[in-house]
Amino acid sequence: MQNALLPNGRIVNAKEYDHQIHGKEIYCPECKVPLIWANPQNDDRSPYFRTTGYGESDHKPFCPHNRVVKILNTMKKVNQFTTRLSDIPEAEKVVIKLNLKTDMIKVPQGEVNEIPNSHPKKSYKYSLRYNRRQKKPIRSISSLSAIARLIMDNKEEELNKVFLDYNGKQLPLSDLVVDQTRANELAFNEGKTSLHYIVYGRILKVVKTEKVMFLNFDRENGTLKPFAAFVFAQDFSWFTYTKDKLENNAVLVWGQIQLNRKYKKAEIQLRSNNNIYIFSKK
């Protein structure tokens, strides 16, 4: 958290906070629980406010910050399990076709390419064919927002039954939706992954220059490996999210994981807004 509430009702930013000036009583602006100030000295993280998790210093269930924490914790729990397709009873399997676009979709907001009802192609019936799968409903996901809804609307025990049909294979959700530590393992093993992955985490700091924008993920006090997403200047017109919109928010990013050999960390290149989903705190 970057902002905290003072006893006098004013808001203070973590970068500006000084306990000798503002005092040690600081609270969550949303649910009013006590916070502490953290100022990491051993990495490039900026100061921030957080709860301790003890006593009253824990976000209330209705708090927007608590909602984001729950989303990330749900995926952490899913990633703790290794699920094989053969282990799930046939009636309980949920197979979803993953059809995220791997190229850029440069359609201005508000404009939709739709075939009119009078067009002869409108009468054609399209269907997806699956070998050895008879009379099973076909579910398809074509956006990160749909993946986000899947995570938010289901408990981890239900998510463990979800398999994504991707590149002709049925893979557990936890194989393709990974945290930044797993992303690092993949990057160091492959250099650049052949598959596209969805990486979840919280953006701690955004650095933008004339040539590139870096979205550095939170390492959670060193418990996670370093990870970043980046956008080259040539794609700035298609990636329009600002620093204020990105920092301190939980996100999903989609793309090929690659190793930055200079900084020894995993990265994903983002080409447009379609490559990222930002979890709302509301």
Distance of alpha carbon 165 from alpha carbon 146, whole angstroms: 15
State the pTM of this model.
Answer: 0.68
Say which CATH superfamily domain 176-278 falls into. Nucleic acid-binding proteins (2.40.50.140)
pLDDT truncated to tens, each residue of the chain (282 aa)? 778 999 999 999 888 899 899 999 999 988 899 999 988 665 556 788 888 878 888 877 767 666 666 666 666 666 555 445 455 566 667 888 898 875 554 444 443 344 445 554 444 333 333 334 444 444 788 889 888 888 877 777 788 888 899 988 888 888 999 999 999 999 999 999 999 999 999 898 999 999 999 999 988 767 889 999 999 999 999 999 999 899 888 899 999 999 999 999 999 999 999 999 998 765
Place of tokens 């080259």: 232
Domain boundaries, the chain: 7-62, 176-278
Helix (H/G/I), strand (E/B), else coil: 12: strand
Q: What share of the chain is helix, strand, coil (3-state, %, to 5)?
A: 25, 30, 45
Q: Among 252, 257, 211, 216, which residue's Cα sits nearest to residue 235?
A: 211
Q: Burial level of 42, CB count in 10 A (0-12/13-18/19+)?
A: exposed
Residue 96 near residue 140 (C-beta atoms within 8 A): yes
Q: What is the pLDDT of residue 154?
A: 78
